[in-house]
Amino acid sequence: MERICGLYADAFFLSQETEVGMNKHHGQMSEAFLTTVFLTLSGGFQDAYTYFYRGKVFANAQTGNIVLMSRMISLGQFGDAVRYFVPLVSFVMGVFFSEHIRQKYRNLTTIHWRQIVMVIEIAILFGVGFMPQSVNLAANALVSFVCAMQIQAFRKVNGNTYASTMCIGNLRSATESLYRFFQTKERENLGKTLQYFGVILLFACGAAFGGVMGSRLAEKSVWLCCGLLSAAFMIMFIRAEEEAGREKM
């Protein structure tokens, strides 16, 4: 037990060292694990929100939407198939729009282009909170658009590829890193494993939080995601100031 605890402690400190090194070298405050915490909680919340309170449509898991859409088509229920097709199209548009923001604003010095993406996400989700159940199709499309923007803009944590709005890629990466740790006994692989499993746990917590708050606040519960994203937005400013301070030393 002491050995296991020691390994976890070593992995944690290694992760912190990696984060400092990455941010110092690349200036990517968007890759910090603390930023990832709020993004992933929001990602899990959004998926629970659309599935449980917006007509059982996935905001993030487009694979699930494709399966459900295909099922509806096979049954000849084309009207129901549209419920899943529209979020798919919206997701594609979100990726496209996020990439456009990157290309247009990536050289800004006063604000990071990813923060611009966050502001747009917050504004859209705030608007979704006012939309009644009668327009769930539009609400789901907008949330899918937001999720796509987020997954396109925020793709790394401490230099490692991850997803803040879905789990399958993170689970694969966690398992791969765990296997490599057993083979090599390298602390870096253990750190990656714990980091990926941590992201998965955060997503699950966000989904659980979304389920609980959705039952209390209904459509307006999505406003809590605005708060989570706002926290990530401010953290990026703080880390930018820290980087500026390090450069002056």
> 86: which residues sit within 8 A by CB, 6+ positions away?
137, 140, 141
Distance in angstroms (rounded) separating the CA atoms of residues 147 and 241: 28
pLDDT less than 70: residues of the chain: 1-30, 239-249
- The DSSP code sequence of 113-161 is HHHHHHHHHHHHHHHHTT--GGGHHHHHHHHHHHHHHHHHH--EETTEE
Tokens of 88: 């798919």
Which residue is listed with tokens 């990726």? 95
Condensed to tens digits (0 to 9), the pLDDT of residues 38-50 reads 999 999 999 999 9
What would the pLDDT profile of 14-37 be if each residue is shown by its tens digit? 444 444 443 443 445 667 888 999
Query: What is this structure's pTM?
Result: 0.83
